[in-house]
């Protein structure tokens, strides 16, 4: 229970005369209730958080008011859960924390949401403004608004109960309109017990109308893009997670299929069209990127994940040289174009509207047969090579032999969510496990951040209401491992598979000085992670063969019980940093 007992009158803004007289006469409403009603009014039905001063009662009252309150063991996981709920639903995910340390624990997730264009609102209680601003040493003193600002798309503070409606409305609009992002909402402790006339209070709440308005692209911009595509000999479509977020699946599929253009999905765009689609060029990625002459980017940025649109990946001679491609970029942010290389045809608007406009004008645009054949030829050869690797059955398991099982499971259960983090555990899963439905693959995103695993898994189960399969590196799992208690407490259908190679990237590193301390990259050998799940009443399994792994996952999917499968992988099976070894300064020199 919050210790804030101060009367509202001491801190509330002087109220209009009418409000004061009503207040004497009628029912009162306090800040707690106004926050809850403002959220409910805007369709927020779930809150992820961790209680304590000054928001303990907010979590209680929210639950009492019918909101689903999912309480975590660490705010970072609650924050990641909120952010991915935002990605899945286009509604801002709400994370609720206490002041200073709780706020800071949630802040990483807020920054990550902004970086990934996920709509999220971090609501943190804060200490007494007057004391904080004079730096007099309040309980959990911190100028949270100032700290959140550079990491959030927007940041607001509400001081008076009658402004709660506006504060929540502004936070929602900022989170979901235009390019989505993380928003910080600062609610000082004194706000919650402030009471005002109930009728006036309720009237001050805002139900946000059209929070993410459609943004129709300019006709000349669409024509410019279509002209480029029409002239292309080797066109390519690149789908990013913005395209997944936009939920324009049918239009995107129609454009891809009508034009016959090969496409590449970025990691979280996998499944917008099934990865098994004949036009999917994932298996020929290193062929199509340098070869393509016109590239249509849909909700994907030319950041590091796409080698900044230049260098050898794109057919440039040196690491900084541009290839010869022309780019069309569909994005809601007008400042995204030209961030790395020239965008010849920016199409600014929401993806649904932009793709619909492109589709409408696309008559006569057809990927040349010669190009399609070349892509398919390359694909065929790479798929055969991969099939050979997947067929191997070494002991201990390799990433391939274990993930071959996961590949089959996902194929048989296309509605399940796949959460994925790690280095090798991430990169191999992305390339081996086909996705069949949009927004089912939830992973480390733009930062490659470790720690999203259990938060994402909880949100996927709670909001997506489907079975979740989390494929985790053993290091990656450790960042949020305590949340297995959360998974058990809410009895969620989450099956965690730890690709256990005893360490970060590999488990066979030695202390270079020869001392007793282990290498910084390795963990306790043969750790029994499955017992962690058993400690809270879930199911733990220790598996060493693909057959055992398959049986354990099947059982988890059948029973829907919280399950942790400790899959033993060869210690030396991974490579440093997985697929991004070249970004590692020391490794690059080797
Ligand atoms: P990926 O990592 O999959 O390549 P990014 O996160 O880099 O994807 O890019 C997503 C892009 O999608 C961002 O530039 C963002 O502005 C854009 N975006 C997000 N939502 C929409 C939308 N509804 N309409 C148009 N663009 C969007
Ligand atoms: C918040 C750096 C990238 S990948 C990784 C770390 C620590 C773990 C790799 O080991 P894991 O996977 O998960 O066992 P595998 O299969 O290769 O053995 N801190 C944060 N984010 C990142 N990305 C790191 C550190 C890192
Ligand atoms: Mg590992």
Q: Is 336 in the pocket of ligand 1 (CB under 6 A)?
A: yes
DSSP per-residue letters across 512-536: TT--SSPPTTB-STT--THHHHHHT
Q: Which atom of ligand 1 is nearest to the CA of 179?
A: 16
Instruction: Report CA(430)–ligand 1 centroid distance (Å).
Output: 19
The torsion angles phi and psi of 343, rounded to 5 degrees, stand at: -100, 115
Q: Is 33 in the pocket of ligand 2 (CB under 6 A)?
A: no
Written as tens digits, the pLDDT of the chain (590 aa) is: 334 444 444 444 444 444 444 445 689 999 999 999 999 999 999 999 999 999 999 999 999 999 999 999 999 999 999 999 999 999 999 999 999 999 999 999 999 999 999 999 999 999 999 999 999 999 999 999 999 999 999 999 999 999 999 999 999 999 999 999 999 999 999 999 999 999 999 999 999 999 999 999 999 999 999 999 999 999 999 999 999 999 999 999 999 999 999 999 999 999 999 999 999 999 999 999 999 999 999 999 999 999 999 999 999 999 899 999 999 999 999 999 999 999 999 999 999 999 999 999 999 999 999 999 999 999 999 999 999 999 999 999 999 999 999 999 999 999 999 999 999 999 999 999 999 999 999 999 999 999 999 999 999 999 999 999 999 999 999 999 999 999 999 999 999 999 999 999 999 999 999 999 999 999 999 999 999 999 999 999 999 999 999 999 999 999 999 999 999 999 999 999 898 888 888 765 44
Q: What pLDDT is attached to residue 571?
A: 97
Q: What pLDDT is attached to residue 6?
A: 41
Instruction: Report CA(471)–ligand 2 centroid distance (Å).
Output: 13
Q: Is 303 in the pocket of ligand 1 (CB under 6 A)?
A: yes
Residues 494/562, Cβ–Cβ less than 8 Å: yes
Q: Which atom of ligand 2 is nearest to the CA of 108?
A: 1
pLDDT in tens, 452-510: 999 999 999 999 999 999 999 999 999 999 999 999 999 999 999 999 999 999 999 99
Of residues 23, 18, 58, 16, the one with CA closest to residue 37: 58
Ion ligand 3: protein residues whose beta carbon lies under 5 Å: 473-475, 501
- Phi-psi bin for 267: left (phi > 0), alpha (psi -120 to 50), beta? alpha
Q: Give the residue, by CA position, lying nearest to ligand 2 atom 1.
A: 450
Q: Is 301 in the pocket of ligand 1 (CB under 6 A)?
A: yes
Q: What pLDDT is attached to residue 445?
A: 98
Residues 241/299, Cβ–Cβ less than 8 Å: yes
Residues 463/46, Cβ–Cβ less than 8 Å: yes
Report the run of H or E that residue 35 belongs to, with start and end: helix 31-41
Q: Which atom of ligand 2 is nearest to the CA of 451?
A: 1
Instruction: Please calculate the CA angle 370-372-378 and round it to the nearest 5 degrees.
Output: 105
Q: What pLDDT is attached to residue 4?
A: 40
Of residues 433, 470, 430, the one with CA closest to residue 454: 470
pLDDT in tens, 339-371: 999 999 999 999 999 999 999 999 999 999 999
Q: What pLDDT is attached to residue 256?
A: 98
Burial class (CB in 10 A: 0-12, 13-18, 19+), 222: buried
Task: State how far the Cα of 461 lies from the Cα of 85, in Å rounded to an integer.
Answer: 10
Of residues 37, 108, 269, 84, the one with CA closest to residue 180: 84
Q: What pLDDT is attached to residue 25?
A: 63
Q: What are the counts of helices (DSSP H) followed by strands (DSSP E) for the chain?
A: 24, 19
Identify which ligand lies nearest to the alpha carbon of 574.
2
Mutate to test the pocket of ligand 1, among 92, 117, 303, 308 (most ligand atoms within 8 A of CB): 117
Q: What pLDDT is attached to residue 590?
A: 46
Q: Give the residue, by CA position, lying nearest to ligand 2 atom 20.
A: 450
Q: At what angle do helices 164-176 and 31-41 cross, to 10 degrees?
A: 40
Q: How many CB atoms lie within 10 A of CB 25?
A: 8
Q: What pLDDT is attached to residue 24?
A: 55
Residues 313/347, Cβ–Cβ less than 8 Å: no
Instruction: Report CA(344)–ligand 3 centroid distance (Å).
Output: 42
DSSP per-residue letters across 384-452: HHHHHHHH---SSBPHHHHHHHHHHHHHH-TTSEEEEESSHHHHHHHHHS---STT-EEE-GGGT-TT-
């Amino acid at each position: 229970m919050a210790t804030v007992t101060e009367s509202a009158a001491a801190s509330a803004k002087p109220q209009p005369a009418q409000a004061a007289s009503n207040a004497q006469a009628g029912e009162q409403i306090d800040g707690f209730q106004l926050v809850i009603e403002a959220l409910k009014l805007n369709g927020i039905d779930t809150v992820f958080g961790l209680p304590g001063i000054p928001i303990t009662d907010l979590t209680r009252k929210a639950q009492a008011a019918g909101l689903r309150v999912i309480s975590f063991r660490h705010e970072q996981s609650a924050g990641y859960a909120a952010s991915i709920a935002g990605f899945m639903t286009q509604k801002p995910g709400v994370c609720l924390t206490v002041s200073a340390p709780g706020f800071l624990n949630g802040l990483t997730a807020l920054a990550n949401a902004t970086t990934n264009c996920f709509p999220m609102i971090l609501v943190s209680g804060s200490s007494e403004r007057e004391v904080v601003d004079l730096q007099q040493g309040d309980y959990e003193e911190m100028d949270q608004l100032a700290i959140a600002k550079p990491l959030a798309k927007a940041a607001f503070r509400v001081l008076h109960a009658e402004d709660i409606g506006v504060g929540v409305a502004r936070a929602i609009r900022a989170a979901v309109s235009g390019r989505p992002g993380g928003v910080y909402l600062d609610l000082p402790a004194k706000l919650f017990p402030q009471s005002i006339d109930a009728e006036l209070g309720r009237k001050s709440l805002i139900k946000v109308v059209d929070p993410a308005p459609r943004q129709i692209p300019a006709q000349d911009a669409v024509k410019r893009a279509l002209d480029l595509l029409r002239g292309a000999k080797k066109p390519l479509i690149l789908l990013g997670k913005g395209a997944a977020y936009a939920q324009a699946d049918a239009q995107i599929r129609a454009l891809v299929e009508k034009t016959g253009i090969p496409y590449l999905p970025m990691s979280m765009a996998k499944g917008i069209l099934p990865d098994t689609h004949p036009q999917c060029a994932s298996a020929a990625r290193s062929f199509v990127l340098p070869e393509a002459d016109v590239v249509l980017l849909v909700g994907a940025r030319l950041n590091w994940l796409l080698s900044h649109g230049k260098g050898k990946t794109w057919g440039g001679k040196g690491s900084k040289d541009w290839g010869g491609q022309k780019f069309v970029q569909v994005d809601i942010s007008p400042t995204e174009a030209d961030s790395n290389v020239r965008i010849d045809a920016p199409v600014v608007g929401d993806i649904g509207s932009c793709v619909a406009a492109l589709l409408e004008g696309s008559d006569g645009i057809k990927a040349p047969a010669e190009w399609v054949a070349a892509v398919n030829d390359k694909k065929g050869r790479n798929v055969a090579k991969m099939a050979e690797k997947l067929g191997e059955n070494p002991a201990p398991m390799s990433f391939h032999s274990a993930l071959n099982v996961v590949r089959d499971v996902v194929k048989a259960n296309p509605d399940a969510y796949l959460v994925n983090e790690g280095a090798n555990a991430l990169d191999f899963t992305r390339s081996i496990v086909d996705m069949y439905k949009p927004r089912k693959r939830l992973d480390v995103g733009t930062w490659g951040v470790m720690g999203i695993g259990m938060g994402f898994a909880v949100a996927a189960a709670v909001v997506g209401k489907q079975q979740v399969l989390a494929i985790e590196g053993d290091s990656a799992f450790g960042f949020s491992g305590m949340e297995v208690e959360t998974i058990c407490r809410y009895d969620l259908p989450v099956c965690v598979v730890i690709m256990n190679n005893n360490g970060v990237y590999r488990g066979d590193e030695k202390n270079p000085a020869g001392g007793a301390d282990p290498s910084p990259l390795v963990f306790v050998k043969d750790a029994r992670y499955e017992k962690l799940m058993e400690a809270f009443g879930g199911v733990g399994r220790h598996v060493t063969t693909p057959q055992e792994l398959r049986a354990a996952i099947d059982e988890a999917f059948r029973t829907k019980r919280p399950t942790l499968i400790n899959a033993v992988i060869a210690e030396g099976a991974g490579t440093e940093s997985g697929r991004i070894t070249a970004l590692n300064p020391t490794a690059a020199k080797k």
